[in-house]
Structure 1
Amino acid sequence: MKNLYKLKYIFITILTVSLVSSCQTESSFEDELPSIANIAVSNADFSTLEAAAVAGGVAGVLSNSNPNDASGAYTVFAPTNDAFARLGLNENTLGVLQKTFLTNTLLYHVSNGNLAGNTISDGGTSTSALSLDRRFIERGEDTYINGSKILATDVTASNGTVHVIDKVMIASGADIVQTAIALQSANVFTSPELTYLVEAVVYAELAEALTASEGSPSFTVFAPTDQAFIDLGAALGLTFTSPADIRQLPKETVQQVLLNHVIANDGKFTSELSAGTVTPLGGDDLTLGAFTNGTLTVTGAGNGGEVANMGIPDVQTTNGIVHVIDRVLLPNL
């Protein structure tokens, strides 16, 4: 594992000082190690994770041995407070997430057994507690799990191993269309995010193409928020006050605009995307900005140089990766 940060050594120092000062024998050191849950409780950098574990009902699970693995261990990829803050979340704002989604999100960070840092390599995978695979990607000197950079590895707990990451990983367990509907219907956030996009997909008759089926392709999709569509309406001299207002535009135009957000490239996390142009299913090439702090900007040929920023990157679906953005990407209409 490359480029480990000092956070790892802070943990090791804390644990070592604690153990040495108590004059325990080597055989009892393991008994005195904190559980995974207690690591979160005892470190201020994981206060949001601690609150999420309590709210999501998994704190008790991560306090005990793993009954589903012979070693009794879990491996947890633990997002820092800063990782949650990237989604606008902290200890006091976790209530914007539906509990089921929060619980599943936490379990997506957990796997059975001890996965040592030196066994993590580019192209490898790890199966989460949701039975969904996560993949490891090396980019320069850094290693990522999906689109989240691994900041530190091998923090040892009494019931497993903790690796520290810089972004919360999200998986819907559904295809692209059902994922958008889940966001639209408040099954993820208490306030819907993608109501206009769902309406546009239905209106443009593209739902079937973006629904997973055996042998269907996997996509990278840039998904504009409700506000992005409202802003588009204003730019066109239209007033969008409800998703149905998207139907003021010709169906063919909406279809062309939506296809300008879809890339048939097997679904790429941000850690697998680079600056340059990519060709969507319809319209003109999109321009990706530099990979910076785990995200990229994206610009449509018809956006006059105005970039779209990723608000929620790297949402894993069963037929691709969705990146929620703050601007509609326009082709040259």
Structure 2
Amino acid sequence: MNTQYKTYNFIFFFILTTVILSCETESAYEDVPPTIANIAVSNPAFSTLEEAAITGGVAVTLSNPNPNDSSGDYTVFAPTNDAFARLGLDENTLGVLQKDFLTNTLLYHVSNGNLAGNTISEGDMSISALGVTRRFVNRDNELFINGSKILATDVDAINGTVHVIDKVMIATGGNVVESALALNDAAVFVNPELSFLVEAVVYTGLVDALSNPDANFTVFAPTDQAFIDLGTALGLTFTEPANIRQLSQELVTAVLLNHVFADVSADKFTSELSAGSFETLGEDTITLGMYTNGLLSVSGSGNMSPANMVIPDVQTTNGIVHVIDQVLLPNM
């Protein structure tokens, strides 16, 4: 009996020890932070970002330590599904973007090292993995990176930190004209969006002026549909960009200059814009509406209704471009 009792005691002790060690091991595993890529995979609010990371070829990178920083960390500003939806994108429609552009856009949201939320201040700069510098803005006691509001900070990952933002950040790597050409040549979207604008810039001889590397333009860029609608309003049929040449060069020049702020020393993200009237490089003004949900309406003196921002806060090497859905007309 005594031997049997000792045997039962040993078996019970063995089972108990195994369970305790198993629980401790499981608990320790659960306490280990996920990788940055795992955060996107595990949170349904980042399903579009997850698909973008896979399609853009950066998912594996963000699953591992950063080889380009001694800390092994990345800092990622992560757009939510709602942020992608602002551009009409979700995990099923990312195919409208060229892969190279998608990859570069994702890298624009990444930086080396671990940037804690409590170390970010108004006016600070941060260099992205793309090599383009982003800036932090404080608006109404809320912090923005470029034109994107930081919704949450310091989501810990084993290979860095994630900060959540409400808009996708875009940088083209080219100047204002080169950026429009990239859109025109389907280097960004599979279907070009600014073909008429490019034609108008070439027609009016403004290429060199808008390529000035020493300027910091704030430009409002009408989509193709905006120019097509303008043609209709004028009783013309714009079926291709060259149709813009039905209008006089003088008129098209006046219209284009009405889309650029007169102060070319300070480019402005939406987070830095306020309602009011602003002088343009032309001889008129444009008016911005109230700042609402990260956007502002914009209208020219000759518009019956304001234009909406379609793609705000596109960073170029010599300014910020806000793509809009209507041509801004001066008083004519």
Same fold (TM over 0.5): yes
- Please tell me the residue identity of whatever aligns with 1:318: T
**Aligned-residue offset at 1:283:** 2.9
Q: 1:128 to 1:30 in 2, by over 3 A?
A: farther
**Aligned-residue offset at 1:217:** 1.5
**Aligned-residue offset at 1:33:** 1.2
**Aligned-residue offset at 1:321:** 0.0
**CA displacement, residues 39-87 of structure 1 (integer Å, 9 cap, x when unaligned):** 0000000000000000000000000000000000000000000000000
Q: 1:217 to 1:56 in 2, by over 3 A?
A: same
**Aligned-residue offset at 1:24:** 5.8
**Aligned-residue offset at 1:141:** 2.3
Partner of 1:164: 164
Contact 1:299–1:307 (8 Å) recurs in 2: yes
2:256 to 244, 250, 258: 258
Partner of 1:12: none
Partner of 1:308: 307
Partner of 2:146: 146
Contact 1:31–1:158 (8 Å) recurs in 2: no
Query: How many percent of aligned residue pairs carry the same amino acid?
Result: 70
- Please tell me the residue identity of whatever aligns with 1:226: D
Partner of 1:236: 234
Contact 1:257–1:283 (8 Å) recurs in 2: no
Secondary structure of the residue aligned to 1:155 is strand
Partner of 1:284: 284
Secondary structure of the residue aligned to 1:277 is strand
**Aligned-residue offset at 1:278:** 0.8
**Aligned-residue offset at 1:115:** 0.1
Contact 1:115–1:161 (8 Å) recurs in 2: yes
Partner of 1:217: 215
Alignment pair present for 1:320 and 2:319: yes
Gaps of 5+ in 1: 1-20
Write the mapping of 1:108-127 to structure 2, written as runs, cut at 5 A.
108-127=108-127
Contact 1:297–1:307 (8 Å) recurs in 2: yes
Look at both structures and tell me which one has the larger radius of gyration over its CA atoms: 2
Partner of 1:101: 101
Q: Could you tell me how far apart the structure 2 residues matched to 1:157 and 1:171 are?
A: 26
Write the mapping of 1:126-141 to structure 2, written as runs, cut at 5 A.
126-141=126-141
**CA displacement, residues 197-230 of structure 1 (integer Å, 9 cap, x when unaligned):** 00000001000000033xx221000000000000
Q: Could you tell me how far apart the structure 2 residues matched to 1:212 and 1:201 are?
A: 14
**CA displacement, residues 106-144 of structure 1 (integer Å, 9 cap, x when unaligned):** 000000000000011100011000111100000002110
Q: Could you tell me how far apart the structure 2 residues matched to 1:160 and 1:29 are?
A: 18
- Please tell me the residue identity of whatever aligns with 1:196: F
Q: Could you tell me how far apart the structure 2 residues matched to 1:71 and 1:90 are?
A: 33
Gaps of 5+ in 2: 1-21
Partner of 2:192: 192
**Aligned-residue offset at 1:320:** 0.1
Report the TM-score, using the length of structure 1 for normalisation.
Answer: 0.90
- Please tell me the residue identity of whatever aligns with 1:286: I
Q: 1:29 to 1:265 in 2, by over 3 A?
A: farther
Secondary structure of the residue aligned to 1:232 is helix
Q: 1:38 to 1:282 in 2, by over 3 A?
A: same
Secondary structure of the residue aligned to 1:208 is helix
Q: 1:30 to 1:74 in 2, by over 3 A?
A: farther
Q: Could you tell me how far apart the structure 1 residues matched to 2:64 and 2:109 are?
A: 17
Contact 1:260–1:281 (8 Å) recurs in 2: yes
1:247 to 225, 245, 249: 245
Q: Could you tell me how far apart the structure 1 residues matched to 2:243 and 2:202 are?
A: 13
How many equivalent residue pairs? 309
